[in-house]
Chains A and B, each alone.
Chain A
Amino acid sequence: MKRYAVLLWMTGLAAVSFAKVDLVTLPASESVQITIYESADLTLVRDSRPLTLRQGTNQLQFSWAGTLIDPTSLMLVPQKAADQVDITDLSYPPNTVNVGIWTLESRQAGRIPFEITYLTSGFRWRAFYAGILSENEKTMRLEGYVRVFNQSGEDYENAQVRLIVGQVHLLDEIAELARRTWPYGRPGEGVPGMMPQVQMERARLAFGAVKAMDEIAMTAKPKEIRKEGLSEYFLYTIEGTESIPNGWSKRLPSFQAEAVPVVNLYKFEEEMYGPSVIRYLYFFNDAEHHLGQTPIPGGSMKVYRTVSKEGHLTYEGGCEIKYIPVGQEAELNLGPAEDVLVKPKLMDYKTDNYRFDDRGNISGWDEIRTVVIEIKNSRPMPIRLEIKRNFPTPYWTLENRGDSEKVFEKVDLDTVKYTLSMPPQSARVIEYVLTTYHGVRQEDWTRQNQ
């Protein structure tokens, strides 16, 4: 049962005493569609109702006490016989909070379907994910879910639910508009008058009670979510209808992809992560990775690993993921990996090539550092590891010792990266000699490198 009320009364008189209700009908909703945005507290509601009009002037009262509906967004649109009906005005009567009255001029009598649309706040949805890694951690089953929360003050029964991913630009927050005493404020009022927040009733209504047996048979499988791109948005439409009473939330599966290839990458960068090695998991949102049909909305992700034939799981870690467009790579930070050690050590430090100015003061010198990085993989599986080193100056030269050159790569003017593949339970050492140039020696460096 809807909490807000649509009252219709018909009269041939233009002037109607609002306090005097002659005839009241409560036309049942034929269908409700709610479109919930992710990036703002904004939901578009379309409520279809057939109204029985008489020829002449009709008035329709709509009240929304206890809800978070933005009164300035209220629209009434005839779905049929539009040329026979003029919706001449919508009036917000004085001293009557949360009530609007539409005046309709109809040239014909009879039943005409209408759609009432408005924006409301109080709904939100978010995506979350579970990734279940195979035992060898090369693939995972990716399960996507959405959870829809209804704090709108209104119960929505058998509503088609659509979810929007994308940034929406708003001038006013819908929740603020919903709290105004006067829908459009008052003349001379810079800031809309604020009312205490609407106290939302928490009456819990049974839902799904009227679900018919044929519908049971029809919906006896997890719902599909249809996905489509619209402008800069992505629209997810949940199959069938959902009932979400005020105060309730609902979790729905959005997709499932099997055997998504993943890459485990371990990263070490002291300036970024401190002394720990951080484990990352990567996968592409593309067809090759059994995904790629739609962007993946941002949300929280939990990663488990299968540890037995009976399907028992172990929890590997969790993180927030950002919005992943089709074709882009997703990066999951699973936190520090204690079983992979990277230990850089400064093994030798010296200065050399001093230059002196006319006054005999030091004007330039070199610093030469020998660094050894001990690496140990004590995991029972092979790993790929990236070690980044940041230097305090762009004036440097590097000499790699041993086979360190094979895994070396310059990233930018003061950063280098070593990428290694480590077998299970293995250790290795990287060694390099870094020479940095200071004072006038920077000019010598520049000349040598031109």
Chain B
Amino acid sequence: MKQAIWFAAAAGLLFGTVGAQARTKLAALPQRESVDIRMDNADFTLIEEERILTLRKGLNQVDFAWQAVSIDPDSIRLTPLDHPNGVRILNVSFPPDEAALVWEIASDGDWAERVRISYLLDQIDRLTAYKAVADKDETKLDLTAYLIVRNFSGEPFDNARIRLDADSVFERDLADGQTRRLLWTQNRALPVTKVWTWDSALQPWDPEQLERQNIGIPVRYRLVNEKAAGLGRAALWPGKVRLFQDDGHDSTIFLGEDNLSFLPVGEKAELYIGDSRDIVVTQRKIKEEQINIRRNRREQIVLYDTEEVLTAKIENFKDSPAVLTLIERIPGQWEMKSCSLPYTRKDAETLEFEITLPARSGDKPAVVQLEMHYQRKNVRP
């Protein structure tokens, strides 16, 4: 098997030279005893490998070369494990125009020394991908996480321990050019909430203005990374989620896919699965007039308030109840005079309504009406 990273040890007594001669007269070519590929850092992969070096008492010279492999040379470390006090690294030399180095190692005895070599390796990384299967009621989600390890580093690894965190270790061969998808975690029946979201800044207000076109209302599954939800041990890594739903016939349908962002413990994520056409929102502004007008000496308006009324009709054509998140925005300074539904103020200009819609009755959609009467204050022309 081709190995781009190779090792040669030459005892100083036999080969007192470093350079071209010693590099071709190999005394030993110790294989890797073990290798750990540490992938907990999203940007850098740390390789820790153990080899047994045959050291002689006195000076030893050890070659480490990494042709066609991108290693950060400053990151290369060698640690003796069996005789940490009896084996000392004196210096490291780098030959010209070569991806290689030569360690000069002093040993107090003739030892077969286990050493750990670590380095940061390029072109080897990991991705996370998820498969999520919702139950038929869309209240529970089976979430399977896969780890995708891509090795284009130029270096093959046999029996590598691929480490992600304290709990997650995989033992696999990883050839150069190989991509492996590994089953990482499986979480069954995670509670999810299906949410429909209509945002007044993003969606058209009046479907009647759009001839023969549906207005899609984005649908998402809301998932919380918490113990109560069966998660909460660690952050979820970012990755693509493919969503399926149990179709009730021992099979599934594909719902859609979305990217999950980095999700720390305690945070919630919403996975977009597509648009719903079964809920229709028709919003109109029915009043906007200037009041409390302040003019300067030349009769120009310098400051005024507004009186505004906004209505929204929400229709549910589904045969099941739904919860719609309706987002309204009022810029600047404002005061609510009356509002037909309760809301949460998310920030200075964002109002969020969580509206529970009953199922349709017979052929008629369930309808909920919203009316907001508010004044905007201190508006300047």
Contacts and interface: CB of A to CB of B under 8 A. Distances in A.
A221 B41 contact: no
A207 B19 contact: yes
B74 A376 contact: no
Contact of A349 (B163, B262, B332): B332
B94 interface: yes
Interface stretch (B177-185, B191-199, B214-222, B342-350): B342-350
Nearest to A143: B77
A311 interface: yes
B266 interface: yes
A220 B90 contact: yes
B349 A315 contact: no
A205 B17 CA distance: 10
Interface in A310-361: 311-317, 338-339, 341, 345-352, 354, 356, 358-361
A195 to B, nearest CB: 23
Interface residues of B, number: 62
A208 B16 CA distance: 7
A221 B48 contact: no
The secondary structure that dominates the A interface is strand
A190 interface: no
B97 A247 contact: yes
Interface string A192-228: 0000000000101111110101001101111100000
Count chain A CB atoms within 10 A of each CB in B12, B16, B58, B96 and give the residue with the most: B96
A300 B75 CA distance: 11
A207 B96 CA distance: 13
A300 B44 contact: no
Interface string B280-297: 000000000000001111
B297 A359 contact: yes
B370 interface: no
Contacts of B264: 338-339, 341, 376, 378
A315 B91 contact: no
Interface string B94-111: 111100010010100000
A204 B96 contact: yes
A102 interface: no
Given A346-B348, A362-B380, A427 B38 contact: no
A211 B16 contact: yes
A287 to B, nearest CB: 26
B333 A351 contact: yes
Given A216-B58, A222-B88, A315-B120, A338 B303 contact: no
A374 to B, nearest CB: 11
Contacts of B166: 307
Interface stretch (A72-80, A115-123, A168-176, A248-256): A248-256
B59 A216 contact: yes
B267 interface: yes
A217 to B, nearest CB: 8
Nearest to B116: A311
A242 interface: yes
A219 B235 CA distance: 50
Contact of B18 (A206, A242, A347, A369): A206
B303 A362 contact: yes
Contacts of A315: 38, 40-41, 44, 46, 120
Contacts of B262: 338
A205 B20 CA distance: 8
B348 A376 contact: no
B36 interface: yes
B94 A249 contact: yes
A252 B347 contact: no
Nearest to B166: A307
A425 B380 CA distance: 46
Given A207-B19, A247-B97, A360-B297, A378 B349 contact: no
A393 B322 CA distance: 47
A128 interface: yes
Given A207-B17, A223-B90, A348-B348, A247 B380 contact: no
Interface in B232-283: 235, 262, 264-267
A223 B94 contact: no
B347 A204 contact: no
Contacts of B339: none
The 7 closest A-B pairs by CB, nearest first: A247-B96, A360-B296, A220-B106, A378-B264, A251-B92, A206-B17, A350-B333
Given A349-B348, A356-B302, 11 more contacts: A128-B74, A206-B17, A208-B104, A213-B58, A220-B58, A247-B95, A248-B96, A253-B89, A339-B235, A345-B347, A378-B235
21 contacts: A147-B74, A217-B58, A219-B106, A220-B58, A248-B93, A248-B95, A251-B93, A252-B92, A300-B74, A312-B36, A313-B38, A313-B48, A339-B264, A346-B347, A348-B345, A348-B348, A350-B377, A350-B378, A356-B302, A378-B264, A378-B267
